[in-house]
Structure 1
């Protein structure tokens, strides 16, 4: 969905790339991925990085949250965008992914983004 593309792009230092081809939109902060979405309109899901303990808990709580599709299933969740999750819950998951990845950037990358 376009609103999630737009929301991801509001994050400081974010770029939209297509390293896996035009069918997958990849959102990066600095040089690292924090979100992936199919380029289909409307997109049906978004894959997001997640703390491993939180990822397991979320999968137990919500049918819309599954282990990351074609990603490290310990660190990534794929979230269905057409389900019972509210927009606020999806925003919180995107924020968590962004913050987790931003924390892992080098000091130089963080400084460049903070400008």
Structure 2
């Protein structure tokens, strides 16, 4: 995805978070994963979409230290297909990019 950067920013808060890899677009996070674990991915979404995903899939959980309304943790070995996970990661990217692209256009 165009313009994506990645960092491991949470290790400065606690060493146990050194392995959380965060993906950014326009300096705002849209996805993260524990690279020592690889059992789930956390993505941003809308409150309505989060509710729909929760209703349709049992392999979702609440993300750590994130807004439950706007973030959802997708368990990779559950009932969500790989193609659905890829689509949700892309949707997360699109949500964040659209939101923060508006601010860049206003500054110009």
TM-score by shorter chain over 0.5? yes
Interval containing the TM-score (normalised by the shorter chain): 0.7 to 0.9
Return closer, same or farther for 1:102/1:84 CA change in 2, 3 Å cut-off.
Answer: same
Alignment of 1:24 onto 2:20 = yes
Unaligned runs of 5+ in 2: 12-17
Unaligned runs of 5+ in 1: 1-10, 111-115
Q: Give TM-score, length-normalised by structure 2.
A: 0.84
Matched residue, 1:60? 55
Q: Give TM-score, length-normalised by structure 1.
A: 0.79
Give RMSD over aligned pairs: 1.6
1:15 shift after superposition: 0.7
Q: How many residues align?
A: 99
Matched residue, 1:99? 94
Using the alignment, how far apart are the partners of 1:68 and 1:103 within structure 2? 23
Using the alignment, how far apart are the partners of 2:61 and 2:54 within structure 1? 6
Does the aligned pair in 2 maintain the 1:47–1:69 contact within 8 Å? no
Structure 1 runs of 4+ off > 4 angstroms? 107-110
Alignment of 1:38 onto 2:28 = no
Return closer, same or farther for 1:52/1:108 CA change in 2, 3 Å cut-off.
Answer: closer
